Amino acid sequence: MELSKNYEPQATEIKWNLHWRNEGYFTSTPDERPAYTVVIPPPNVTGVLHMGHTLNETVQDILVRKARMSGFNACWVPGSDHASIATESKVVQMLKEKGIDKNTLTREEFLKYAFEWKEKYGGIIYNQIDRLGCSVDWSRVTFTMDDHYYKAVMKVFVDFYNKGLIYRGARMINWDPAAKTALSDEEVEFKDLQGTLYYLSYKLVEENGNDLGETISIATQRPETIMGDTAICVNPNDERFAHLKGKYALVPLIDRKIPIIFDDYVDTTFGTGALKVTPAHDINDYNLGLKHTLEVVDTLNEDGTLSEAAQIYVGEDRFVARKKIIAELQKKGFLTKTEEYQTRLGYSQRSGAVVEPRISTQWFVKMKEMAEPALKAVIDGEIKIHPGEKFLATYKYWLENVKDWCISRQLWWGQQIPAWYDDKGNMVVAENEYDALQQMQNTFGTISVHGGKLVQDEDVLDTWFSSWLWPMEVFKGISEPGNNTEIDYYYPGAVLVTGQDIIFFWVARMIMAGMHYKDQKPFSNVYFTGMVRDKQGRKMSKSLGNSPDLLDLIDKYGADAVRFGIMISSPAGNDLLFDEASLEQGRNFNNKLWNALKLLKMWEGRQAPTTDERIAVQQPVRDLHADLDVIAATESSETRNFAIEWFESRLNSVRAEMETMYGQFKLSEGLKTLYSLIWDDFCSWYLEWIKPGFEQPIDADIYQKTVGFFEELMQMLHPYMPFISEEIYHLLKERTLDDDLAIKQFAPIQPTKKQILAEGDLLKKVISALRDARNKNQVKPKETIKLYIQTNDRDDYSDIELILAKQVNADSIIYTTSTPANTIVVAVEKDKFYIESEKEIDAVAVKDELEKDLKHQQQFLESVIKKLSNERFVANARTGVVDLEKKKQADALARIKVLEESLSNL
């Protein structure tokens, strides 16, 4: 078969994706094997996957494939999240572009649009996951608004309500005036910015309204809220204001009379020492208001415009009104001073609007008691966070200081709160209307409703109120808990792979829900990936245009190259600077593999019978000139092949290394290690060592062994780069049906031979040194040389001399005890090598090299001697350390001797 010049990913990827799916390799059902469960962090159906998802999915797929190939029943559940507010604002935006105003639609009409949106983007997301090669179980795909899921959410809400863990009440919450909904604390993002502090003077009056002829100055960032002021507060210990007890102030512009109150909350050193109190629009003022039973005047509408209560500028947007009010205050002399001020503003994570503190009636979850077991699970190490301690402190702090969770949202897209009201405002909480009616009757005796229908709460639930059930409900662990073999088998999961940005939103809450309903952690490990940034370190965002399209990348480089590129530079927990150059590296790696395959396929037809011992032995030799010395060496060696033994040991040693790295979730390092094993050890060294001479046959045994190595390398690579590994595995030889890497189980790791590895290292070192000497002396690559070796341990070279000769293009190797004339000398460890070639020798250059090396060695020796002559070192150093230094000393001395001899011989 003719193989293409370069690897062509497109057709290959489609082929194997289809094959794997047809064989049902990724479909999991409970069996006798241990389960390895991973639930995907369900992407929001707000849009397509970005590079952050790509990193997450790749990490998960590597872990899942590795587990599947290591005896586990791997189950990776895919799905998506309805992402209540995020999706709703996208849909609203989309409708707006079509000229449709959400307010003109009924709830049902809007939901129809939303579901269409979900179908479209959900589809794109699933396609992306598929193209990336993710080995998910498509028979288990779950959406957070599926019927059973919806039911589970209702059930949990009712259950929590009945347990007293959910309550409804009027509180000050974060209000998003753009989306016109409440937000949880976690959905508010703070940004530092330069603000202005306005100093306003309020006229002081007696209770009866008589002017005191005095003013009090306060500082505020929000002059548009003065109409909501219901007091001025000063510190009771502040002598400046002691005389104002029982006095009042007049709110500028509207002349409303408000009391002066005293509370040590006020910092006497900040601003003017006097604070205007606006309970409706500031959380601190709200608390002050509660304490001093102040009136609450809400001067804003839900969309952020000024309300009737403001009396002036009614209907104007808050920011427009601010400007106008400032102008008016200035004009009328109330504004005495302005000051630049560093401040922080809360923004809605989804709509971007400046969040308003607002008093409103919402639903809350009590968090305190649920936090305890969730904290314990992590502190006790039942759940391990990777990488390490970094996030433990954050997690702990949040749980220890957790506040109640506002879960109601004034939206349509999501699970509607199962609270039901009758005409009199009586309320019951029940999973459906039928139950609600029953309950209403039982609780209140009569039902007062028009047309026999109760009214359901208009609000929907925070999207995380459904997401936190994910590890359980994907197996119907909430909706059908009884007799459920799936949840018993798959729960808890092995690992959760997610971004550190949702540690509170999701991770902590999943642990809470899991501990609450299963009395067990939802997963054993949490692996936090870093944030994907562009190569300048900026966040990826649509507005910057630095977020590439995943499918475009896959089209351009192939899925394996994308996976490679994103993994090669993403140490756990660190941010990843995404650069297409690393995808190119991945593509180049593909081609490297492809070319190695081509080389093997070339040899396939040129195998000589295994019985031909001469070929077996001489395989490493290119076209060895019949030099007596070499022949003698050849005949004395056994019929074993050094290259094969060496690579076998390398392979097994790397497998063991990678096993450790998997255990520590060091996936990026694992890939680097494997990359180097394949590119350097296998391609650059091993294949060159066994490569037969020009148009020479290859020993059949060596060939078969090599195919075996390649297979094993592909198996190791499979979790990282599933497509090309599977393709090469199949092109290497004919396979029986079902003999696919996707499910091939790893063989046990064999012990490595340290001696062989050491010999290999020496061989590589000598080859590099000799090549370097050739280079520096401008001996042309094609030119053959005569190589002399001067050593006291000729045995060191018996295994490797043939390979050495070939790799440095020597047509003969001669062991010598004296310095041959007119040769380039190279010293490696304690032996000397001499290159004899046609080329005139540049004695000066050789001398320089030797002298440089000598100087280095002498300095090194000096440092060792210094150490050894330090009595305290010899007395205190751990056993072995002194011996090691002595060995260093001996080695350095031997090497200096070699170098000095070489120099004197020049």
Residues 757-786 that bind RNA (CB under 7 A): 767-768, 771-772, 775-776, 781-782
Nearer of residues 39 and 277 to RNA, judged by Cβ? 277
- x-marked contacts with RNA along 103-142 as a string, rule CB under 7 A: ----------------------------------------
Q: How far is the CB of 597 from RNA (least distance, A)?
A: 8
* Residue 196 β-bridge partners: 340
Candidates 323, 842, 859, 883; binder of RNA (CB under 7 A) is 859
Q: How far is the CB of 11 from RNA (least distance, A)?
A: 15
Residues near RNA (CB under 7 A), total: 89
* Residue 346 β-bridge partners: 190
Q: How far is the CB of 269 from RNA (least distance, A)?
A: 7
| Element holding 73 (H helix, E strand) | strand 73-77
Stretch of 34-42, 519-527, 566-574, 783-791 lying at the interface with RNA (CB under 7 A): 566-574
- 398 interacts with RNA by CB under 7 A: yes
Nearer of residues 307 and 394 to RNA, judged by Cβ? 394
Residues 399-438 that bind RNA (CB under 7 A): 401
Q: What is the distance between the alpha carbons of residues 106 and 496, in angstroms, rounded to a whole number?
A: 39
Q: Is 344 left (phi over 0), alpha (psi -120 to 50) or beta?
A: beta
Instruction: Name the one residue in this structure whose structure tokens are 């100055």.
Output: 217
Residues 839-858 that bind RNA (CB under 7 A): 856
Helix, strand, coil share (%) of the chain residues, nearest 5: 45, 20, 35
Cα-based distances in Å from 608 to 423, 599, 643, 693, 711: 94, 16, 18, 13, 21
Q: How far is the CB of 649 from RNA (least distance, A)?
A: 18
- 831 interacts with RNA by CB under 7 A: no
Q: How far is the CB of 252 from RNA (least distance, A)?
A: 14
Rounded to the nearest 5°, which phi and psi values hold at 405?
-100, 115
Q: How far is the CB of 648 from RNA (least distance, A)?
A: 18
Q: What is the distance between the alpha carbons of residues 414 and 755, in angstroms, rounded to a whole number?
A: 65
Nearer of residues 453 and 856 to RNA, judged by Cβ? 856
Q: What is the distance between the alpha carbons of residues 26 and 135, in angstroms, rounded to a whole number?
A: 6
Candidates 741, 892, 898, 899; binder of RNA (CB under 7 A) is 892
Nearer of residues 884 and 906 to RNA, judged by Cβ? 884
Residues 253-312 that bind RNA (CB under 7 A): 265-268, 270-273, 275-276, 282-284
Q: How far is the CB of 622 from RNA (least distance, A)?
A: 10
| Element holding 105 (H helix, E strand) | none
Q: What is the distance between the alpha carbons of residues 230 and 280, in angstroms, rounded to a whole number?
A: 9
Q: How far is the CB of 812 from RNA (least distance, A)?
A: 20
- 186 interacts with RNA by CB under 7 A: yes
Nearer of residues 582 and 812 to RNA, judged by Cβ? 582
Name which of 847, 848, 842, 832 is nearest 777 in CA terms.
842
Nearer of residues 150 and 665 to RNA, judged by Cβ? 665
Residues 495-514 that bind RNA (CB under 7 A): 501, 504
Stretch of 63-71, 432-440, 589-597, 704-712 lying at the interface with RNA (CB under 7 A): 589-597
User: CB under 8 Å to 81, separation ≥6 — which residues?
Assistant: 42, 43, 44, 45, 143, 144, 463, 466, 467
Nearer of residues 266 and 478 to RNA, judged by Cβ? 266
The answer to whether the beta carbons of residues 177 and 112 sit under 8 Å apart is no
Pairing of strands 831-836, 785-790: antiparallel
Nearer of residues 247 and 598 to RNA, judged by Cβ? 598
The number of CA neighbours under 13 Å toward the Cβ of 407 is 31
Nearer of residues 426 and 618 to RNA, judged by Cβ? 618
Q: How far is the CB of 242 from RNA (least distance, A)?
A: 16
* Residue 181 β-bridge partners: 176
Candidates 130, 688, 712, 900; binder of RNA (CB under 7 A) is 688
- 585 interacts with RNA by CB under 7 A: yes
- 623 interacts with RNA by CB under 7 A: no
Rounded to the nearest 5°, which phi and psi values hold at 470?
-50, -55
Nearer of residues 541 and 775 to RNA, judged by Cβ? 775
Q: What is the distance between the alpha carbons of residues 157 and 484, in angstroms, rounded to a whole number?
A: 21
Residues 354-393 that bind RNA (CB under 7 A): 389-390, 393
Three-state DSSP class for 125? helix
Nearer of residues 684 and 819 to RNA, judged by Cβ? 684
- x-marked contacts with RNA along 431-470 as a string, rule CB under 7 A: ----------------------------------------
**Which sign, positive or negative, has the C-alpha torsion 227, 233, 238, 244?**
positive
Q: How far is the CB of 460 from RNA (least distance, A)?
A: 24
Q: In what order do the strands lie in the sheet with 810-815?
A: 810-815, 785-790, 831-836, 824-828
Q: What is the distance between the alpha carbons of residues 865 and 462, in angstroms, rounded to a whole number?
A: 70
Q: How far is the CB of 858 from RNA (least distance, A)?
A: 7
Nearer of residues 513 and 892 to RNA, judged by Cβ? 892
The number of CA neighbours under 13 Å toward the Cβ of 862 is 6
Enter the tokens of residue 515. Answer: 């501990």
Q: How far is the CB of 504 from RNA (least distance, A)?
A: 6
- x-marked contacts with RNA along 862-891 as a string, rule CB under 7 A: -x---x--x-xx--xxx--x--x--xx--x
Nearer of residues 108 and 389 to RNA, judged by Cβ? 389
- 67 interacts with RNA by CB under 7 A: no
Cα-based distances in Å from 39 to 135, 321, 467: 12, 49, 11
Q: What is the distance between the alpha carbons of residues 56 and 125, in angstroms, rounded to a whole number?
A: 14
Q: How far is the CB of 208 from RNA (least distance, A)?
A: 28
Residues 627-686 that bind RNA (CB under 7 A): 669, 672, 676, 679-680, 683-684
Distance of CA 106 to the CA centre of its chain: 40
Pairing of strands 79-80, 698-699: unpaired
Q: What is the distance between the alpha carbons of residues 548 and 552, in angstroms, rounded to a whole number?
A: 8
Nearer of residues 159 and 891 to RNA, judged by Cβ? 891
- 394 interacts with RNA by CB under 7 A: yes
Long-range pairs, 791-795, Cβ under 8 A, ≥24: 791/815, 791/830, 791/831, 791/832, 792/830, 792/831, 793/831
User: CB under 8 Å to 260, separation ≥6 — which residues?
Assistant: 204, 216, 231, 232, 233, 234, 241, 244, 245, 246, 247, 248, 249
- 546 interacts with RNA by CB under 7 A: no
Candidates 596, 800, 802, 854; binder of RNA (CB under 7 A) is 596
Q: How far is the CB of 695 from RNA (least distance, A)?
A: 7
- 93 interacts with RNA by CB under 7 A: no
Q: How far is the CB of 248 from RNA (least distance, A)?
A: 19
Q: How far is the CB of 429 from RNA (least distance, A)?
A: 28
Nearer of residues 187 and 459 to RNA, judged by Cβ? 187
Candidates 178, 540, 577, 903; binder of RNA (CB under 7 A) is 577
- 580 interacts with RNA by CB under 7 A: no
Rounded to the nearest 5°, which phi and psi values hold at 271?
55, -125
- 599 interacts with RNA by CB under 7 A: yes
Candidates 109, 290, 397, 897; binder of RNA (CB under 7 A) is 397
